[in-house]
Structure 1
Amino acid sequence: MAKELLKGNVAFAEAAIRAGLQAYFGYPITPQTEALEWMSQRMPELGRAFVQAESELGAINMVYGAACTGARVMTSSSSPGISLMMEGISYIAGTEVPAVIVDVARGGPGLGNIAPAQGDYNQIVHGGGHGDYYPIVLAPANVQELIDQTALAFDLAEKYRSVVFILIDGVLGQMMEPAELPPMRPVRQTVPDWAVHGVPGRGKHILNSLYINPPDQEEVDIRLLKRWMEIKANEVRYKTYFTEDAEYLLVGFGTSGRVALSAVRAARAKGIKVGLMRPITLAPYPEKELEELSQRMKGILVVEMNNGQMLDDVLRITKGRVPVEFYGRPGGIVPLPDEVLADIERLTSSQFSLDGDPRERWLARMQL
């Protein structure tokens, strides 16, 4: 199939439809409303369910109910809307039903603004809802990856009966790039054995996340943990660039990873031996791979569009074996490659440090 110019929000919406999406429930919020608009036209055309709910709370609980039937279901929102959905997401995880959620993140906290940001990392990657659950989190960096990972998200959700997030930001949601959409998959006709189904001759199923007896809840939590161990063993995804001879490493995801790659290429042109690791699965995080890379680096620079959230994971993984520095632009500011390059030059010409918090050194370095 030929490539076409696609906006990110439209691309993931159409990719979900072509992956066999049966029901979409959502609520408009910038910068992801184009996805809702696209679904409102395409889903009824195909005889599938589309509902604009009265709120994000309504949307996520509709997702919950539909997911219990074994249907392919999803919602999408942006940062404040995702925050409102967290209780329902926890219910979905506790009930062990598959669902796909796209978060087109914007500046915060609070209502913040409608500009691109990555301040949702902690609430998405480390589970904003209560209890012991572990969502799978995918972080594409371009429209083609967004399309491909949307189909992957449904497959992973059903394979592991898990919540799967696709975490992007307003840049990727609003930008247009040439990309290729997959062919239309047929909508699945079979009903999973675990689902509430009403099929004659099958046993009665009750799905819930309420376990009054603590040993029963513990059994569920241990089952979720064992499933997460399986996911960690089999579903880690990442990309590396110029790491074969690198002395310094940048780590960035999504849009920040894309900006970091441009900075790495510019640094290479100046003779600085720097590479990039871009996690694609933020959960499970490529911990082993980062640990191995870090052992031969003089320093690591973490690039994010927030105040340093993935930074804490990088510090945890590297365990003080290598100096880690930070470059961030929070609040809806997208870093420019030249800014990141300037920080690379500053750090590699002086010395990376192991002392104190990298955020403090970043504030001092930037005179903020």
Structure 2
Amino acid sequence: MNKALMKGNEALALAAIHAGCKFYAGYPITPQNEIPEYMSRTLPAWGGAFVQAESEIAAINMVFGASACGARAMTSSSSPGISLKQEGISFLAGAELPAVIVNMQRGGPGLGNISASQADYFQAVKGGGHGDYRLLVLAPFTVQEIWDLTMLAFDKADEYRNPVMILGDSILGQMMEPFIPTPYMKPALPEKTWALNGCAGRQPNVVKSLFVGEGELEEKNYVLQDKYRRMKAKDVRFQTQDIEDAELIVVSFGIAARISTEAVSMLRKTGKRVGHFRPITLFPFPEKQIHDLARRGAKFIAVELNAGQMVEDVRLAVNGKSEVLFYGRPGGGVITPEELYDRLKDEC
């Protein structure tokens, strides 16, 4: 199959269309604007509907409506815009509706800037809105993974009847690199018998997140928590580099993982016993795999483009079995491989 050369944002939009996305609603914000731009000119030709909503809040609620009717639906934004969508994301999770939500992160807090950041990790993996809910969160680090994980996101959203977030950043969204646009292969998924698509010949369906009967909401929460446990049992994804003999293991995701991969390769050439562990799913987090490495005696350092967020999950996974360090730059500061090399060389 021939390779293609596209921006990450455009590859994501095209992958969504190939995966059967039939509804997109969004609102412009840098650095993800190529996604709605691409969708606006391409999705209608594939039989889908594009809406530029009047706000991020309107967009997420339009996605709620389209998903409730059984359509594969997606929205995208960047950090402040995702914050505005949080109530709707909680409503989607509470109503058990599938949707794909893309966050190409920018620096914060507040309006911040448009540089690459990973400061939305807490918001993504801990549930940024109200209530005990979780998103399945996928963190690509190449344009190829953007393509592949976007298709996976739609499948997992339907499988679990749950929102799935693709957590990128401005570098991943804006950079161009070659990738192979592999064909979409739809897995066997349960029919959407719950969808609001007309009730001729059946009882009406009800889609809601309001449960006011005695004990009703508690029982609903137990159902949701069981779903998240199934995600943890089945859908942990990660990649490793040179961890077999590593005394120091770098843990990083997304664009920070590309930086870490290069720094680790540089260190290995000097004889340093350093490795790299890359979570691909941020929820479910690969806690068991990291814990097993900690029991072996390896030391860890979390490398992130923020002030220290994923490092907390690394520490929880290690559970006191080993030392966990942190190195990062917040507010849109980007670490270079050389800078990380200098930071790591004395820790090995």
- What's the TM-score once normalised by structure 2's chain length? 0.97
Match of 2:204?
204
Match of 1:56?
56
Query: What amino acid is aligned across from residue 62 of structure 1 in structure 2?
Result: M
Match of 1:360?
none
* Aligned ranges 1:63-74 → 2 under 5 Å: 63-74=63-74
Residue 30 of structure 2 aligns to a residue whose secondary structure is coil
Which structure 1 residue ranges, 4+ long, deviate > 6 Å from structure 2? none
Match of 1:36?
36
Match of 2:179?
179
* Aligned ranges 1:108-123 → 2 under 5 Å: 108-123=108-123
1:25 lines up with 2:5 in the alignment = no
Query: What amino acid is aligned across from residue 179 of structure 2 in structure 1?
Result: A
1:261 lines up with 2:251 in the alignment = no
Are 2:32 and 2:76, in contact at CA under 8 Å, matched by a contact in 1? yes
Query: What amino acid is aligned across from residue 158 of structure 1 in structure 2?
Result: D
Deviation, structure 1 residue 183: 3.1
Q: C-alpha separation between the residues in 2 aligned to 1:297 and 1:263?
A: 22
Residue range with higher mean Cα deviation, 314-323 or 253-262: 314-323
Deviation, structure 1 residue 47: 2.5
* Aligned ranges 1:273-312 → 2 under 5 Å: 273-312=273-312
Deviation, structure 1 residue 313: 0.7
Are 1:247 and 1:296, in contact at CA under 8 Å, matched by a contact in 2? no
Are 1:238 and 1:277, in contact at CA under 8 Å, matched by a contact in 2? yes
Residue 346 of structure 1 aligns to a residue whose secondary structure is coil
Are 1:15 and 1:182, in contact at CA under 8 Å, matched by a contact in 2? no
1:334 lines up with 2:339 in the alignment = no
User: What count of residue pairs does the alignment treat as equivalent?
Assistant: 346
Note the alpha carbon deviations across 1:282-332, whole angstroms, 9 max, x for none: 000001001011222442111000000001111111122211111101111
Deviation, structure 1 residue 230: 0.9
Query: What amino acid is aligned across from residue 318 of structure 1 in structure 2?
Result: V
Deviation, structure 1 residue 52: 0.3
Query: What amino acid is aligned across from residue 12 of structure 1 in structure 2?
Result: L
Match of 1:355?
none
Query: What amino acid is aligned across from residue 94 of structure 2 in structure 1?
Result: G
Residue range with higher mean Cα deviation, 211-220 or 105-114: 211-220
Residue 345 of structure 2 aligns to a residue whose secondary structure is helix
Identity in percent: 51
Query: What amino acid is aligned across from residue 309 of structure 2 in structure 1?
Result: Q
1:167 lines up with 2:174 in the alignment = no
Q: C-alpha separation between the residues in 2 aligned to 1:183 and 1:295?
A: 41
* Aligned ranges 1:233-272 → 2 under 5 Å: 233-272=233-272
Instruction: List runs of 5+ in structure 2 lacking aligned partners.
Output: none
Are 1:307 and 1:328, in contact at CA under 8 Å, matched by a contact in 2? yes
Alignment RMSD, CA only? 1.4
Q: C-alpha separation between the residues in 2 aligned to 1:147 and 1:278?
A: 18
1:8 lines up with 2:13 in the alignment = no
Match of 2:150?
150
Deviation, structure 1 residue 347: 2.3
In structure 2, the CA distance between the partners of 1:292 and 1:97, relative to structure 1 (3 Å rule), is: same
Match of 1:81?
81
Q: C-alpha separation between the residues in 2 aligned to 1:270 and 1:308?
A: 28
Deviation, structure 1 residue 185: 6.9
Residue 326 of structure 1 aligns to a residue whose secondary structure is strand
Q: C-alpha separation between the residues in 2 aligned to 1:290 and 1:129?
A: 28
Q: C-alpha separation between the residues in 2 aligned to 1:214 and 1:151?
A: 40
Query: What amino acid is aligned across from residue 139 of structure 2 in structure 1?
Result: A
Query: What amino acid is aligned across from residue 290 of structure 1 in structure 2?
Result: I
Query: What amino acid is aligned across from residue 245 of structure 1 in structure 2?
Result: D
Query: What amino acid is aligned across from residue 326 of structure 1 in structure 2?
Result: F
Note the alpha carbon deviations across 1:258-290, whole angstroms, 9 max, x for none: 111110000001110000000000000001001
Query: What amino acid is aligned across from residue 296 of structure 2 in structure 1?
Result: R
Deviation, structure 1 residue 346: 2.6
Query: What amino acid is aligned across from residue 165 of structure 1 in structure 2?
Result: M
Are 1:27 and 1:54, in contact at CA under 8 Å, matched by a contact in 2? yes
Deviation, structure 1 residue 182: 3.0
Q: C-alpha separation between the residues in 1 aligned to 2:270 and 2:65?
A: 56
Residue range with higher mean Cα deviation, 339-348 or 109-118: 339-348
